[in-house]
Amino acid sequence: MSHLRFIVPTLVIIALIGVMGYGLTRDPTVMPSALLGRDAPAFAVSRLQQPDQLFTQKMLQGQVSVVNVWASWCVSCRAEHPFMEELAGRTNAKVYGLNYKDERAAALDWLARYGNPFAAIAYDHSGEVGFNWGVAAVPETFILDRHGVVRYKQIGPVDQVTLEKTLLPLLKELESEPS
Amino acid sequence: MFAASAFAQPPVVAPAQEARYHALIVQLRCVICQNRSIADSDAPLAADMRHMVAEQIKAGRSDDQIKDYLVDRYGSFVLYNPRFDAATWMLWLGPPVLLLVGLGIVILLLRRGSRRAEPPAPNAEDVARLLDEDT
């Protein structure tokens, strides 16, 4: 019975170390999106390549879609770009772009130079759309189901592993969901 | 809603609301420089958030509504004082509970220790003799 006075505190300390140690393995910069499970926030901005046309959240309803937040001034977006192109080629989902806090001319130039995988691009010059979507940095990528509900948010650039292990399987799964 | 360049301009807050504005922006975390409030972060997003807080104040929203506005977009991490809900109860209650458990263990151990037989009370004559021997 007197061993308890050593065993109990030791167990408590080990449990504490275990919990805190696990906490250390988590990355606080990767915050879960506040939008998960909710409808995509409403917005209406001009399209990047067709300035007289509007891009609204309605375009994100009716089929599974990917919204990639990018900018011409963003270096990681350049690194991610080939994977966006690959993604667009390998999924039936619509891949849209949200051009964030950019200049139209610079953005168009960037696409001309590196390729354009997007079915359409929203021109969020002020960043207000990104703000309503909880965008903290670029690039970020949202995946929405056919009802326009945000189901996944990728923080940071998409790479090969994320593409194969997370995005493509998720898109497939969302496409097989009943409408 | 907002002009394209609205984010670029510093937020304009009426003098009567400045105290409230400053009180609010120190309670909100910059989600990029995560150890700083949006009041003292240089990140562009912090400027955006300050701007939005000023706009919301001007629109007559309450402090809670403004916090909700930001939490809706960036999650509860944006509040320096996390709310007490299903996700954070362990954060709030954990330390006090652990403290109580620790205190409880200490009290138990002390009680058990004091139950052992006490040494006999010192005899005044013996003490006096011992003291005399030293001199």
B14–chain A nearest CA distance, Å: 23
Residues of A in contact with B28 (CB under 8 A): none
Q: Do B4 and A126 touch (CB under 8 A)?
A: yes
Per-block average pLDDT, block size 10, for chain A (179 residues)? 76 90 82 89 96 95 96 96 96 96 97 96 96 95 96 95 95 90
Q: What is the pLDDT of residue B4?
A: 40
Residue A109 has a CB neighbour count (10 Å cut-off) of: 12
What distance in Å separates the CA atoms of residue A36 and residue A13, rounded to the nearest whole number?
Answer: 36
Strands A54-56 and A65-70: unpaired
Q: From the candidates A29, A38, A131, which should be mutated to test the interface with B, based on the most B CB atoms within 10 A? A: A131
pTM (two decimals): 0.79
Q: Tell me, yes or no, if A132 comes closer than 8 A to chain B by beta carbon.
A: yes
pLDDT at position A73, please?
Answer: 96
Query: Closest residue of A to B45, CA-based?
Result: A136
Average pLDDT (B87-100) is 87
At A118, the amino acid letter reads: F
> Do A32 and B75 make contact, defined as CB atoms within 8 angstroms?
yes
The kind and range of the H/E element at A76 are helix A75-90
C-alpha to C-alpha distance for A31 and A69, rounded to whole angstroms: 17
Per-residue three-class SS string for chain B: CCCCCHHHCCCCCCHHHHHHHHHHHCCEECCCCCCCECCCCCCHHHHHHHHHHHHHHHCCCCHHHHHHHHHHHHCHHHECCCCCCCCCHHHHHHHHHHHHHHHHHHHHHHHHHHCCCCCCCCCHHHHHHHHHHHC
ipTM (interface pTM): 0.82
B1 with A128: Cβ contact below 8 A: yes
From A89's Cα to the closest Cα of chain B, the distance in A is 31
Q: What percent of chain B has pLDDT over 70?
A: 88
CA–CA min distance B134, chain A (Å): 40
Interchain CB distance below 8 Å, B34 and A29: yes
* pLDDT given for residue B62 in this prediction: 93
- Region for B41 from its dihedrals, namely left if φ exceeds 0, alpha if ψ lies in -120 to 50, beta otherwise: beta
Q: If DSSP codes are grouped into helix, strand and coil, which group holds residue A48? A: coil
pLDDT tens track for A100-144:
999 999 999 999 999 999 999 999 999 999 999 999 999 999 999
| Cα A77 from Cα A114, distance rounded (Å) | 11
| C-alpha distance from B72 to closest chain A C-alpha (Å) | 6
